[in-house]
Structures are given as structure tokens and as C-alpha cells.
């Protein structure tokens, strides 16, 4: 465990608000004045995160517990790099198209690293850098996109409840029930946080 007060997930998952630059999508895209986002703030948006032992994922009891408690019965691996992914250029372009899914997107980085960009409640982009050992869950109905970083490589475990459905719904798809449910859950969390702040 890290030092007191330090969240060891931050060694494998970092997040920040993005600039509006059209430069290479694989660059960090920090704002001029860097503005980091806490993992607690990501959790408020519905993004869950863990730090796991990527060198021993086959026997990791914590991963096993997460899979059992959340019903992640399906598992496979996806390697994203020019050498391993067929139709790489087309796929990386599709991954970076803003979209949502009607189910959770669960990704556990067992090697390499990559960026998952998510929208905050004001529709601003937050870049989530996931490195080896980091696992994130993006909620159903959340607009997001993915790209590699400048290392051009990630190997990710993909988990799913039941048979996997990878269908992306490119924005706008606000009429989907998953999107409406996500926004409703977000609104409830904001209302609860406002009530807590008012009571403090």
C-alpha cells in the first residue's frame, strides 16, 4: 500500500481536463494551466477504477472478487497497436469517434497504456490515462472515446456481463434508454452532493 493519504490507483490511472487542440490525438492534451481530475470526481461521473496486479491477473483474487460481485462472466483480450490489430488505422479512427454503449465498458490494462476520454456533466472532455495495472469501468450511456498514447501499444482485458455486445452508438444517441438512465443517475448524484455541501 502507498503512504497514508495516497491513493495507489493514481500510479496507474490519472485524469485531467483536455485542451481544444487538434494536434495528434495521442499527445496528452493538457490545458495551458494543467487541471487534474481526482478519481473521486471520476466516480461521481460513474467511472469506477481499481489498481490490480497485472503480472498475475490469472490468479489475482481481487480481480476474481470484482468479476464475481459485478457478474463479469465474459473475458477476452484486445491488443491495440499497428502490428497486432487488423485494419489498425480504421479501427483507431473508429475508437476515437465519440460514442456510447448500452452496457458498461470494462477495460483492464495488463500491458502498455492508453487514453479513455469521457465527458463531464458540463460536456467538457476529461482524459483518463490508464496504464498497466489500471482497470476502469465506464457506465452504460456515457459518451466517451479511446486512443493510444505516443507509445502506440495497449493490451487490455475486456470484461462483460453475459455475451459481449460491442456496438458503439456514435453521438448523438440521446434517445437511447441507457443515455437517459445515465443522465438521471448523474442528476441524482449532483443533487445528493449539493445537499451534502449545503449541510456542511
Residues placed in the known binding site for Fe(2+): 99, 101, 105, 144
d(CA 69, CA 137): 14
The cell for 55 is: 503480472
Which residues are part of a known binding site for Ni(2+)? 99, 101, 105, 144
Residues facing 119 on adjacent strands: 125
Which residues are part of a known binding site? 99, 101, 105, 144
DSSP 25-80: TTS--B-SS--EE-HHHHHHTT-EEEE--GGGTTT-HHHHHHHHHHT--EEEEEEE
Asked if residue 171 lies in contact with residue 128, where contact means CB atoms within 8 angstroms, the answer is no
Determine how β-strand 36-37 pairs with β-strand 13-17: antiparallel
Determine how β-strand 154-160 pairs with β-strand 144-148: unpaired
Asked if residue 159 lies in contact with residue 74, where contact means CB atoms within 8 angstroms, the answer is yes
The cell for 154 is: 495497449
Amino acid at each position: 500500500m502507498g503512504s497514508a493519504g495516497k491513493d495507489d490507483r493514481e500510479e496507474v490511472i490519472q485524469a485531467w481536463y483536455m485542451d481544444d487542440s487538434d494536434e495528434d490525438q495521442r499527445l496528452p492534451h493538457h490545458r495551458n494551466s494543467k487541471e487534474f481530475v481526482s478519481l473521486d470526481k471520476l466516480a461521481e461521473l460513474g467511472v469506477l477504477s481499481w489498481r490490480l496486479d497485472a503480472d498475475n491477473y490469472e490468479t489475482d483474487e481481487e480481480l476474481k472478487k470484482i468479476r464475481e460481485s459485478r457478474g463479469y462472466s465474459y473475458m477476452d483480450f484486445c491488443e491495440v497497436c499497428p502490428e497486432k490489430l487488423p485494419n489498425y488505422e480504421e479501427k483507431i479512427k473508429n475508437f476515437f469517434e465519440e460514442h456510447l454503449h448500452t452496457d458498461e465498458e470494462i477495460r483492464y490494462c495488463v500491458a502498455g497504456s492508453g487514453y479513455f476520454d469521457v465527458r463531464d456533466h458540463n460536456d467538457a472532455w476529461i482524459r483518463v490515462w490508464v496504464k498497466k495495472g489500471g482497470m476502469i469501468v465506464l457506465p452504460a450511456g456515457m459518451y466517451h472515446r479511446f486512443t493510444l498514447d505516443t507509445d502506440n501499444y495497449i493490451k487490455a482485458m475486456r470484461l462483460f456481463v453475459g455475451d459481449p455486445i460491442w456496438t458503439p452508438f456514435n453521438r448523438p444517441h440521446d434517445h437511447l434508454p441507457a443515455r437517459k438512465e445515465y443522465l438521471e443517475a448523474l442528476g441524482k448524484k449532483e443533487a445528493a452532493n449539493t445537499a451534502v455541501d449545503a449541510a456542511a
